[in-house]
Structure 1
Amino acid sequence: MTVGKPGFVAGRLNERQREKLILGVAAPLLALLTAMAITSLVMVVTGDNPFTAFSVMFDFGIKSDSQVWIINKAIPYYLSAVAVAIGFRMNLFNIGVDGQYRVAAFFAAVVGGALSLPGFVQIPVILLVAMVCGGIWAGIAGYLKATRGVSEVITTIMLNFIAGSLIAYFLQEGRLAEREGNIVHTPDIPGSSYFFEFATSVQPIHGTVLIAVLIGAAYWFVLTRTRFGFDLRAVGRSESAAEASGVSVTRTVVTAMLLSGAVAGLVGMPTLLNESGNYGNDFPEGLGFTGIAIALLGRNHAIGMGFAALLWAFLERTGTQLEFEGFDQEIVGVMQGVIVLSVVVAYELVRRWGVRRQQRLVGEKLAQARKSDNDQAEVSA
């Protein structure tokens, strides 16, 4: 048997890595181009000029104040996407990020408003409370999935409704909240508990962007450089095979949901610690469902989800300007929806093309190996 040269093997590995990178970039690009084409067609049918609309969006989106707004808006989107992606990597659909971050933000705000510790102590306490509450809320679904086989989709959706009802019960004057005009909110956290900000020439960038960066780095490291990350991905590929290799599927499922919920608990922190300082009945909702779309667009990759979060925020920011220019603002919603649908289709098309290409390459290598063996046999004869 002939052993290939190390350089040849390394070359093949590099080639495969390049192909994997190309396929990873091709899918979202194809999805975006498809979404732009479909959205342009919709605007043409409704009598609008798509080139003018895209020009307005680009010109408004690159302004300094828009750039800061986009970055600040992308922070909770990214954290939500990472929370969803942790489950996605092992075929767990955590649809409950919305309820998890709202429960976490509410009780973190209650604790933060009740304490008056130095900022360097109180801020970590608030973050820890948020992560614990989010983890517990998601852990309920993980435990039921691992021990009773209950679908996490059903339990997380139901827990979203329970979370909303629980918050509505406590968010009343005389319980854990107070009234200020038409707004009912938890007691304000002390000024020292606000997270720092990065000053710019227009408006500050939330310091919680560092939390998003750290969470993204931790997500990449745990999933690609640790035994737990390998176990998590192995369970996602095949539970039976992972179990046969010594991986505890039950423990991995519960741990993954706890981690997903802990990250989800941080989604509301940019709003709480950089903007509102309390949890009120005007606290943002729906960020968990946006995270699902961003995780899909970013292919559950730490960097890919970052670009997807910025893109989503860019569309929301520029969509407001379209309305002033006489366009329907709903066109942005159409674009976002088409992007999600295009992502699903594009990823499947690219995946099938990649599989066919690998099969063709394997067939060519086998044919070359047979020819080489035949040639050696003829020489020996």
Structure 2
Amino acid sequence: MKKFDKDRLLLGLAGPVLALVVAFLLTSVVLLLSGLSAIEPYELMFQQLEFTDIQVLIINQTGIYYLAALAVAVGFRMNLFNIGVDGQYRLAVMLAAVVGAAVDLPGPLHILLIVLVAMFVGAMWAGIAGILKTTRGVSEVVSTIMLNAIATSLIAWMILPANLGQQPPGSNQLNTGEIPESGWFPGLQLDGGEIYGFTFVAFALGIVYWFTLNRTRFGFDLRATGASQSAAQASGVDAKRMVLTAMLISGAVAGLAGMPMLLGQTHTYSLSFPVGVGFVGITIALLGRNNPVGILFASLLVAFLDKTAEGLDLAGYPKEIALIMQGLIVIAVVVSYELVRQYGLRRQQQKVGEELAAQARKNKEVAAA
């Protein structure tokens, strides 16, 4: 049994490690073809880790990516491809910012209200795709892509001063108004800046995610439905209800992805708020294999690439190197995981064959005696 667990662990690590190695090599080839050094950019990126402000930026970005990846991972465990995390996150953070700026409550209640609004909006927006899938059989891939576009247009309309937005005097930037200080989430102040307080909440949610999936009946039903809806249905699980529930939970977690920055830095929503976070979350969930620890390291890696690449311009290297590497990671992950899966099947078949052969020899020895 221990040997099997060891093999499973090695196979689990082989996929992401192979993907990273391939992505690194292919990025180096792109650099060489561009007439640039294939090593110096990586050296420059690692050198920036010496600066505490870069460290703080990486940690803060890791928390944001971690939440987005957890939202994607919940869908993946149900065999659902929630591409709409980005729209769910942006719509949720905007409406949460509107509510947060409109009320004035004692600190903990104010923060709790903002968080609950974000979760509710994210869940409801993802729930539309869940309802369409369970009632009409519409693919969640198609519906969530369309909902992303609708969310973008809806946000652009709602943030107009005639609706829910504001335009500060002397500025062309629109926002939702500033949240009172009672709605700010306190962080950890360091020499290089402040680590968002909600970042630690994000990491704690990883523990909740693991416990729920692996130590509760609901988590078992969710994983069973993701593996085979027909088998889950035969064992008494309402597959359609589980699909809808998974989409609601995925959307609720997606709604939290904007909380670290909203509650810890900007205290308002504007059109300059980060976009594409949900799509990065897909990459991270794939690389982390939907495991909370794997997702944490993948989030840290992507955040490292994002924040250290910004300093490459000063050395004459395009900061898009990080984007190229992220794209290559996605491609390499798909290919490497399939290769590892096929190797694992062959390895398992080989072990079964060896066990059967050993049992046959033993039976022959017993018969001969």
Q: Which one has the largest radius of gyration?
A: 1
Q: Which amino acid aligns with 2:352?
A: V
Q: In 2, Cα distance between the equivalents of 1:98 and 1:284? A: 10
The equivalent of 1:93 in structure 2 is 81
How far does residue 377 in structure 1 lie from its aligned partner after superposition? 2.0
The equivalent of 1:366 in structure 2 is 356
Aligned in 2, Cα 1:187/1:343: closer, same or farther, shift over 3 Å?
same
Identity of aligned residues (%): 52
Q: TM-score, normalised by structure 1?
A: 0.94
Per-residue Cα deviation, 1:71-126 (whole angstroms, up to 9, x for no partner): 01111111000000100112101011111111111111111111100111110111
Q: Is 1:154 the equivalent of 2:108?
A: no
How far does residue 67 in structure 1 lie from its aligned partner after superposition? 1.1
CA RMSD across the alignment: 1.1
Q: In 1, Cα distance between the equivalents of 2:2 and 2:165? A: 58
Gaps of 5+ in 2: none
How far does residue 132 in structure 1 lie from its aligned partner after superposition? 0.7
Task: Report matched runs for 1:291-370 at 5 Å.
Answer: 291-370=281-360
Per-residue Cα deviation, 1:154-185 (whole angstroms, up to 9, x for no partner): 11111111212221221111321110211111
The equivalent of 2:222 in structure 1 is 232
The equivalent of 1:120 in structure 2 is 108
Q: In 2, Cα distance between the equivalents of 1:338 and 1:164? A: 27
* Conserved? CA contact 2:93–2:262, under 8 Å: yes
Q: Is 1:207 the equivalent of 2:182?
A: no
The equivalent of 1:23 in structure 2 is 11
Q: In 2, Cα distance between the equivalents of 1:244 and 1:198? A: 50
Gaps of 5+ in 1: 1-12
How far does residue 355 in structure 1 lie from its aligned partner after superposition? 1.0
Per-residue Cα deviation, 1:40-85 (whole angstroms, up to 9, x for no partner): 1111111111121111111113422211110011111110000001
SS of the residue 2:167 aligns to: strand
The equivalent of 1:104 in structure 2 is 92
SS of the residue 1:204 aligns to: strand
Q: In 2, Cα distance between the equivalents of 1:356 and 1:64? A: 47
Q: Which amino acid aligns with 1:304?
A: G
Q: TM-score, normalised by structure 2?
A: 0.97
Aligned with residue 125 of structure 2, among 131, 134, 137: 137
Q: In 1, Cα distance between the equivalents of 2:96 and 2:312? A: 37
Q: Which amino acid aligns with 2:296?
A: G
Per-residue Cα deviation, 1:346-377 (whole angstroms, up to 9, x for no partner): 11111111111111000000111111122222
Per-residue Cα deviation, 1:308-330 (whole angstroms, up to 9, x for no partner): 11110111112111111011222
Q: Is 1:42 the equivalent of 2:14?
A: no
* Conserved? CA contact 2:51–2:192, under 8 Å: no
Structure 1 runs of 4+ with >3 Å offset: none
SS of the residue 1:24 aligns to: helix
* Conserved? CA contact 1:61–1:317, under 8 Å: no
Q: In 2, Cα distance between the equivalents of 1:98 and 1:51? A: 33
Task: Report matched runs for 1:46-57 at 5 Å.
Answer: 46-57=34-45
Q: Which amino acid aligns with 2:62?
A: A
How far does residue 226 in structure 1 lie from its aligned partner after superposition? 1.1
Query: How many residue pairs were aligned?
Result: 367
How far does residue 335 in structure 1 lie from its aligned partner after superposition? 1.1
